[in-house]
Amino acid sequence: MLDAKKIAQDFPILQKKSRGKRFVYLNSAATTQKPRQVIEAISDFYSNHHGTVHRGSSEISAQATEMFEKAHENIGKFVNASMQETVLTRNTTESLNLLAYSLSKKYLKPGDEVLLTKMEHHSNIVPWQQLALEKGFTVKYAGITKSGELDISDLQEKISNKTKVVSFTHCSNVLGTINDAKEISRIARDAGAISIVDGAQSVPHMMVDFKKIGCDFLAFSGHKMLGPTGIGVLAGKKERFEELPPFLFGGDMISEVFFDHSTWNDLPFKFEAGTPHSAGAIGLSAAIDYLEKIGIEDVLRHERELTKFAFEKLSGLGFVEMHGPIPEKRGGVISFNVRGIHPHDVGGVLDEYGIEIRTGSHCAQPLTRELGLESGSARMSFYVYNYREDIEAAVEAIEKTFRLMGK
């Protein structure tokens, strides 16, 4: 069993005070805090080993290259993807933009369809919308049920021989809903479509095996799993990556350059143009080592326990409406509204108590509208360093907020 209080000791920022109170961080779905082990790995790299990767001739530069490639390999291994199947990007957003651009350049033409879901983050909507304007394909959305789950029968109805891509979130950052990525990928495959899993909210919290899911691509972000900002991942089937054109062009992604044409580097570097974020890869690899030491299976178990506890406490208040399915069907994310109080005010008052949550549309405006939440919602989200007292503190502050401002 995971010892969250002990884990929290590894996080320097969680030892700090906010508004003169113990800093309670309940915003990990936005970004996670970093343990000492990750901070030290980055600091050690810059202090002792930093040099240009793939380009230098010195001993130090060779060390930097070796460390970067080792980290690169470790990052892919975490989701059961080989080095050639793992492209490093800046974040999930860049991974999804890469796919929208390269897939639409290679495959998508007028009359084709891309199927998304109504619970997508903006990063899995806007790139497709923009490329649709250019290439003339249509973007469709599978609906959600009243309980906040994906409506699989609607997805099945909307998929046809026109569907070339099915791109969906593994776990909703608003509703917490965990989608059956294996089943949706199978449906896509059977229809002859390419499947893309947005793993931004799943990979950090549960065992995600790229090969077992059977999808074509899996995207996720380092900063949501204890790693640094600026490093993300796109895992993909080798044969898919091989047939796709590159997204960005320049150094490192080429094999040969002539004045009139160029040829591309081997995988994964064909998709990694320019000087890589070597320190980011090393930090993310250290974060993965840290999560593996905890045991990734224990992470979701721990978050579920906290989610159940928070559900009980919040529903006990009688003036809090929670959105999304029951705790057994979700990750550690709870979006909610307090009767008569604007979500921003809830966030503002909680901040006065040293508690950070997120408020607004959570970068999912279409879903927020679909749920009828014109002012958005408040959201608390959990990770390995959260424990019951964090939730108790938040619930107590919500109760005080309601007494102060509620109706």
Judged by the rule CB under 6 A, the positions of this chain that interact with ligand PLP are: 91-93, 121, 123, 169, 173, 198, 200-201, 221, 363
Least distance CB 196 / ligand PLP (angstroms): 11
Instruction: Measure the CA dihedral 39/41/47/48, to 10°.
Output: 180
Of 56 and 360, the one with the shorter C-beta distance to ligand PLP is 360
Least distance CB 219 / ligand PLP (angstroms): 8
Least distance CB 376 / ligand PLP (angstroms): 14
Of 120 and 399, the one with the shorter C-beta distance to ligand PLP is 120
Strand partners, 195: 166
Q: How far apart are the C-alpha atoms of 92 and 105, rounded to whole Å?
A: 20
Q: How far apart are the C-alpha atoms of 164 and 111, rounded to whole Å?
A: 10
Nearest to 69 by CA among 86, 57, 89: 86
- Is residue 363 annotated as a catalytic residue, yes or no? yes
Of 88 and 349, the one with the shorter C-beta distance to ligand PLP is 88
Catalytic pick from 286, 363, 371, 397?
Answer: 363
Query: At 370, which amino acid appears?
Result: E
Q: What would the two tokens of residue 373 be?
A: 């939440």
Longest alpha-carbon distance in the chain: 71
Least distance CB 120 / ligand PLP (angstroms): 7
DSSP, res 45: I
Q: Which residues contact 266 (CB under 8 A, 6 or more apart)?
A: 84, 255
Q: Which residues contact 208 (CB under 8 A, 6 or more apart)?
A: 79, 170, 181, 199, 202, 218
Q: How far apart are the C-alpha atoms of 238 and 59, rounded to whole Å?
A: 32
What is the end-to-end Cα distance of the chain in Å, rounded?
41
Of 149 and 198, the one with the shorter C-beta distance to ligand PLP is 198
Q: How far apart are the C-alpha atoms of 288 and 71, rounded to whole Å?
A: 10
Q: How far apart are the C-alpha atoms of 167 and 280, rounded to whole Å?
A: 26
Of 92 and 104, the one with the shorter C-beta distance to ligand PLP is 92
Q: Report, as residue numbers or ranges, the catalytic residues.
A: 363
